Chains A and B, each alone.
Chain A
Amino acid sequence: MINLIMAAPDPIVLETDDRTPESALDSDEVRLTFEVHNLSIWYGDKRAIDSVTLNVPSNAVTSIIGPSGCGKSTFLRSLNRMHELVPGTRVDGSVLLLGENLYAPDVDPAIVRRRVGMVFQKSNPFPTMTIGENVTIGLKLNGVRDRKFLNERLEKSLRMAALWDEVKDDLHKAGTSLSGGQQQRLCIARALAVEPEVILMDEPCSALDPIATAKIEELIHELKKNYTIVIVTHNMQQAGRVSDYTAFFYLGRLIEFGPTSKIFSNPSDKQTEDYITGRFG
Chain B
Amino acid sequence: MPVATAMLEDQDSAASRMAAPSRFGDKAFEWLTLGMALAVILLVFLIGWQLARGSTLAIQKFGFHFLTTSTWDPVAEQFGALPFIYGTVVSSLIALLIAVPLSIGTAVYLTELAPLWIRQPIVSLVEMLAAIPSVILGLWGIFVMIPWLRDYLFPLLKKLFGWTPFFTGPIYGTSMLAGGMIIAVMILPIITSVSREILRSVPKLQREAAYALGATRWEVTRIAVLSYARKGLFGAGILGLGRALGETMAVTMVIGNTPQIAVSLFKPGYTLASVIANEFTEATSDIYLQALFEIGLVLFGVTIVVNLLAQLLLKTMTTKTATRAVQ
A residues contacting B by CB (< 8 A) are 80, 82, 85, 87, 110-114, 117-118, 120-122, 124-133, 136-138, 141-142, 147, 150-151, 154, 171-174, 187, 190-191, 194
B208 contacts partner chain A, Cβ-Cβ < 8 Å: yes
**Which of A113, A126, A132 sits near B212, CB closer than 8 Å?**
A113
Hey, what's the 0/1 contact readout for B207-244 against A, CB within 8 Å counting as 1? 11111111110010001100110100000000000000
Known: A129-B227, A190-B213. 11 other contacts (CB 8 A): A87-B116, A113-B212, A120-B212, A125-B209, A126-B227, A127-B228, A132-B327, A137-B223, A141-B214, A172-B326, A174-B322
Chain B, range 170-215, C-beta contacts under 8 Å to A: 203, 205-215
8 closest Cβ pairs, A-B complex:
A114-B214, A132-B326, A118-B212, A138-B213, A124-B205, A113-B214, A124-B209, A128-B227
B55 to chain A, nearest CB (A): 45
Residues of A within 8 A of B324 (CB): 130, 172
B214 with A120: CB separation less than 8 A: no
Q: How far is the CA of A190 from the CA of B213 in the complex (A)?
A: 8
Q: How far is the CA of A122 from the CA of B223 in the complex (A)?
A: 18
Residues facing A in B310-327 (CB within 8 A) are: 321-327
Q: Mark B96-129, 1 if CB is under 8 A from A, else 0.
A: 0000000000000000000010000000000000
Task: Indicate if the CB atoms of A82 and B212 lie closer than 8 Å.
Answer: yes
B223 contacts A111, CB within 8 Å? no
Bound CA span A127–B228, Å = 7
Closest to B219 in A: A141
Contacts of B203 in A (CB 8 A): 124
Name the residue on A nearest B227 (C-beta): A128
Chain B residues with Cβ below 8 Å from A173 are 322
- Are B208 and A120 in contact, with the CB atoms below 8 A? yes
Measured CB to CB, the closest approach of chain A to B250, in angstroms, equals 37
> Count the B residues whose beta carbon is within 8 Å of the partner chain — how many?
27
Q: How far is the CB of A43 from chain B (nearest CB, A)?
A: 14
Chain B nearest CB, measured from A16 CB (Å):
25
Contacts A/B (CB < 8 Å), 27 sampled: A80-B212, A85-B207, A113-B212, A113-B214, A114-B214, A117-B212, A117-B213, A118-B212, A120-B212, A122-B205, A124-B205, A124-B209, A126-B228, A131-B326, A132-B327, A133-B327, A137-B213, A137-B223, A141-B213, A141-B223, A147-B327, A151-B327, A172-B323, A172-B325, A187-B209, A190-B213, A191-B212
B206, B322, B325: the one contacting A126 at CB < 8 Å is: B206
Q: In the complex, which residues of chain A have a beta carbon less than 8 angstroms from the beta carbon of B321?
A: 128
Q: Which of A85, A117, A142 is B208 in contact with, Cβ under 8 Å?
A: A85
- Cα-based distance from A146 to B327 in the complex (angstroms): 11
User: What is the bound-complex CA distance between A194 and B219, given in angstroms?
Assistant: 16
In Å, the complex CA distance between A113 and B216 comes to 10
Chain B residue with Cβ nearest A125: B209
A129 to chain B: which residues have CB within 8 Å?
A: 223, 227
Name the A residues within 8 Å of B230 (CB-CB): 128
Shortest A151–chain B CB gap in Å is: 8
A113 and B322 CA atoms in complex are apart in Å by: 29
Check A142 against B214 for contact (C-beta < 8 Å): yes
Q: Which residues of A contact B326 (CB under 8 A)?
A: 130-133, 154, 171-172
CB neighbours of A133 from chain B (8 A):
326-327
Chain B min CB distance to A240 (Å): 27
CB neighbours of A110 from chain B (8 A): 214-216
A113 touches B211 (CB 8 A): yes
Identity of the chain B residue whose Cβ is nearest the Cβ of A177 in the assembled complex: B322
Q: Mark B283-327, 1 if CB is under 8 A from A, else 0.
A: 000000000000000000000000000000000000001111111
